Amino acid sequence: MPLDKLNAFTKKVQDLADKPNSTMSAAEVKAQFDAAPDKVRVYLNQLIDDLQSTLDTDSGADNIGATGIAGLTGTTVQTLLEALKALVDTKSNSLDVFTKTVLQSAIDGASGADEIGVTPIATSPNRLQGMLEWLKLQIDSTVLGQIPDGSITDVKLSNDPNNIKQVFTLHEAPDAIGAHNATNISVMNPNFTGIDLDTVLDELFTSANNLKSDWAGVVGSPLISSDTSAQLKSKTQTIKNDLATNLSAKGQSSLGTETLDALVDKVTSISTSKQKADGSFAKTFISADETFVISNNLSFAPRHIIVKFISNGKTVYSVYDLDSTVTIISINETNTKIINNAAWSSILAVTGSGFSLNVKGFSGLSTTIYWYAESA
């Protein structure tokens, strides 16, 4: 029978009410959820059984379609297989098929080679046996002056040191300095004034050395003219990296991978005056260890930051100083402690053009956060 499609489910989750427990029992709800997967299971098992079937006229192959093939009858896998079997049976009894006995025959005029065709060469026959006999005749009739071009191998050449084979071998040898002398090798290239390899190599060396000297002369220390190309490149990149770092420290975000021209252009954008910003906002601490962003859209990279808030009538300060890279905490501007030694702490962390605060020990406190930040 033809394979059936699974077109739809009789029970679907989307058919349930928004609150099925008010109209259906738990067992009914579970059954509704299980209905579609179970139907797929039953369908797939039936499909596997149908495809594995070997029942005549209703096997798996009978139910799998196939594109028709010229010369064969059928549009299913089964019918095409049967048509191929019939074609093979027909060919096995045909005179157009060579048997092992025919191909192994050595009977004169009826050998296997007599049955195999070949493309003729000059006046040769078009059967393999005839071609072999024709080639044998060509070899037997070869005389001096009739040797085909390219047919002489090394074993046919003399090993005499004055003959072609040995002369060429000596020329190929790696230690044949005289034969390979650069002055004896011609160069025809309009980009060079020299016409031999030795002169061209001198020109290339001079050009490369001048380039290194000019490079080192323009950039200056730490580049020197005796540096290799790799050293010149490395030192130049280090200079660019240092320039990018200094620009970033001055509020101009930069990378060493940018072009030197782009980095130099940013120098004119450096602000020579100190930039400042401040603000405040209401805050309720939810946990005993909390980190929150205070500002993330400053137009400069902060170098000095002060944050304060009131707790139980006392002022808590958190101070960040990039120059000393130390954050300290103070209550009522006395009893100053390094944060890592305090049982409670507030830590400022600078991230690009903003900063965040980590506070411990103030869970449940509702207060106002006041902050002040300035550039270098």
**Cβ–Cβ under 8 Å, residues 219 and 239:** yes
Residue 58: strand, helix, or coil: coil
333: left (phi over 0), alpha (psi -120 to 50) or beta: left
- Of 45, 46, 79, give the one whose Cα is nearest residue 61: 79
**Cβ–Cβ under 8 Å, residues 353 and 252:** no
Surface-to-core class of residue 192, CB atoms within 10 Å of its CB (0-12 exposed, 13-18 middle, 19+ buried) = middle
For every residue of 62-84, DSSP letters joined together read GGSB----TT---SBHHHHHHHH
d(CA 306, CA 295): 12
d(CA 33, CA 26): 11
Q: Which tens digit of pLDDT belongs to each residue from 259-311?
A: 988 888 888 877 767 788 899 999 998 988 888 888 888 877 787 888 888 88
- pLDDT of res. 174: 58
Burial 40-57 (b: 16+ CB within 10 A, else e): eeeeeeeeeebeeeeeee
Q: Enter the pTM of the model.
A: 0.34
- Of 335, 348, 339, give the one whose Cα is nearest residue 305: 348
Residue stretches of the chain with pLDDT short of 50: 325-344
For every residue of 121-149, DSSP letters joined together read -TT--SBHHHHHHHHHHHHHT--TT-PPT
- According to DSSP, the β-strands at 304-311 and 289-295 are unpaired
- pLDDT of res. 347: 63
Continuous segment of H or E residues that includes residue 281: strand 276-284
- Of 360, 357, 348, 358, give the one whose Cα is nearest residue 320: 348
d(CA 113, CA 105): 8
Surface-to-core class of residue 122, CB atoms within 10 Å of its CB (0-12 exposed, 13-18 middle, 19+ buried) = exposed
- pLDDT of res. 284: 92
What is the biggest distance separating any 2 CA atoms in the chain, rounded to whole angstroms? 123
Token pair for 30: 């579970």
- Of 50, 52, 59, give the one whose Cα is nearest residue 79: 59
